[in-house]
Amino acid sequence: MERYWTLRHLAQAGITEIEGAVIKDGVVRADTLPLVLGVMGTDGLPRNARVRVKLGAVDDISLDIGGTVVERLDAQISADTGAEITDDSEGDDLEDLGGPIAIAVDMESGDEASAPTAQPATAD
């Protein structure tokens, strides 16, 4: 129901562009509306990248709308070098954490004195 009224609002207000954040490849969450939509042109953009999206036509039957990236908002151009500076530090930390973990365990340590021992229960 919420999606229906959100799409009706877009049509009635004549909104043709929105700003949002990339959730994953091909999906953007709008900033000012409760709307998640499929967007072309987000391939390769990091999670939480800020973009401006030109909206397509609303399909009232399937309650769907699509869009195309018009501009990346969080990319800044450095005046000195002309290189693009981006602020995608939020998503990069999580992407580097994945991978195999190796744990070395010495099974023949022979140090049984430091191992915890179970205490017999006393009946009082």
Q: What pLDDT, in 10s, does the model give residues 52-74?
A: 999 999 998 999 999 999 999 98
Residue-wise pLDDT tens digits, 103-124: 666 777 665 555 555 556 666 5
- Average pLDDT taken over every residue of the chain: 77
d(CA 62, CA 53): 20
Torsion (CA) 82, 83, 89, 93 in degrees, nearest 10? -170
C-alpha dihedral sign at 47, 51, 57, 58: positive
17: pLDDT strictly greater than 70: yes
Place of tokens 């973990």: 101
Give every CB contact of residue 77 below 8 A, 6+ residues apart in sequence: 83, 84, 85
Q: Give the 3-state secondary structure of residue 109.
A: coil
Q: What is the mean pLDDT of residues 81-92?
A: 50
pTM over 0.75: no
Residues 45 and 48: their CA atoms lie apart, in Å, by 9
Q: Which of 47-61, 66-80, 83-97, 98-112 has the lowest mean pLDDT?
A: 83-97
**Which is more confidently placed, 97 or 12?**
12
Q: Nearest Cα to 45, choosing from 73, 18, 17?
A: 73
- For domain 2-78, say whether CATH 3.60.21 is its number: no
Cα separation, 52 vs 63, in Å, equals 21
